[in-house]
Homo-oligomer: A and B are copies of this chain.
Amino acid sequence: MAGYPQFELDHQLCFALYTASRAMTRAYGPLLADTGLTYPQYVTLLALWRDPGQARSVGELGERLHLDSGTLTPLLKRLASMGYVTRSRDAADERRVLVTLTADGLALRDRLAAVPMSIASCLGMAPSEGMTLREQLTALTESLEASA
């Protein structure tokens, strides 16, 4: 009986992706522990650090991060309670909530400046390899989201 080769766990791209993603998140844990941040919170700050004076709506952040309000609303409330962002209704459109970095939130960028290099040293690959892998994963995301 040959079995069901299409179900072999070690042949599944999905499983390799799922496992690698969780390993990556765990790798950030010790690097973020000082600041009390989780990995999703760190990624949210990455989006905000891009242009620190610029306020973003929840929807803009969600589009950028591929996350919905059910995830972002409580996450942003926790960032606000830690003093890293502020949340306020947009005066021009009261449906929108604007998220802005605080001085403390911006200061985190300097405190965490070495994090990307620390992670890079754990990847076991050259920067060019990482770049290629990143591009393949981005293309994969686009294909998967287009099929939805």
Chain A residues with CB under 8 Å of chain B are 4, 6-28, 39, 43, 46-47, 49-50, 64-66, 109, 113, 116-117, 119, 121-125, 129-130, 133-148
Contacts and interface: CB of A to CB of B under 8 A. Distances in A.
A134 B130 CA distance: 14
A interface SS class: helix
B116 A23 contact: no
Nearest to A143: B124
29 contacts: A6-B116, A7-B46, A9-B46, A9-B64, A12-B46, A13-B137, A14-B28, A14-B39, A16-B135, A16-B137, A17-B137, A18-B43, A19-B141, A20-B141, A21-B21, A23-B66, A24-B140, A24-B144, A26-B144, A26-B148, A27-B147, A121-B147, A122-B143, A122-B144, A123-B143, A124-B140, A124-B144, A125-B136, A125-B140
Given A6-B113, A27-B147, A148-B26, A20 B125 contact: no
